[in-house]
Amino acid sequence: MLNDPRFLILRCHPRDTLNLSLLNPDLLCPTTTIQVRRGPSRQRETITIPILPSFLFYPHPIQSIQLSFPRFSHKLHIMKRPPLPYATCTLSEITIMSTTHALLAIPPDGLTINAHVEVTDGLLCGCTGTILNIKTNGDITLKIKEHLGWQINTCIVNASVLRLL
């Protein structure tokens, strides 16, 4: 895409991902929601979780040679990906990770717990992993085996971007 906005990729501790994005509204944090049971009454509650724990995205114009962004918390660092001193991505690459698809009554053929899969599109294209969890909204939790420089252990992707290996 010609006008696809670019983002600088920032890293933080997974537990700080949502808090840092709330403190700085310029940061993009792709999220999904899950239902959990909490408290002594075991009431169902919907909570928001990051799709990519430890990753935040800061709008970054492609023409900019120098990085110019506001001072961030000491908990936030620029992701480095050789040969560049920093890593960037496009909005469309991020959006694929957080797009909600139709509910899955039955997961696609072969997508079962412990199946070995590859991400075929979006930000993590080419990464491989093992399926840990499958939700009815199409969200699949992956344990990443080959991260291609992302240095990530787990992520949530939609079933539509997975290919069985």
Higher-confidence residue: 62 or 93? 93
Lowest average pLDDT, out of 69-83, 85-99, 110-124, goes to 69-83
Q: How confident is the model at residue 17 (pLDDT cuts 50, 70, 90)?
A: very high
Split at pLDDT 50, 70, 90, the class of 134 is confident
Cβ-in-10-Å burial (0-12, 13-18, 19+) of 137 comes to middle
Most confident of 11-25, 85-99, 144-158: 11-25
Flag whether pLDDT at 73 surpasses 70.
no
Cβ neighbour number for residue 12 with a 10 Å cutoff: 21
**Across 141-161, average pLDDT:** 84
C-beta of residue 79 within 8 angstroms of C-beta of residue 148? no
pLDDT at 135 over 70: yes
pLDDT given for residue 18 in this prediction = 93
* Confidence label for 41 from pLDDT (cuts 50, 70 and 90): confident
Q: Which of 101, 94, 99 is nearest to 124 (CA)?
A: 94
In 3-state terms, the chain is what percent helix, strand and coil (to 5)? Answer: 15, 40, 50
Task: Fill in the amino acid letter for 126.
Answer: G
The mean per-residue pLDDT over the stretch 138-164 comes to 84
Is 81 a residue whose pLDDT tops 80?
no
What are the structural domains of the chain?
1-98 (no CATH), 101-165 (2.30.30.30)
pLDDT band at residue 37 under the 50/70/90 scheme: confident
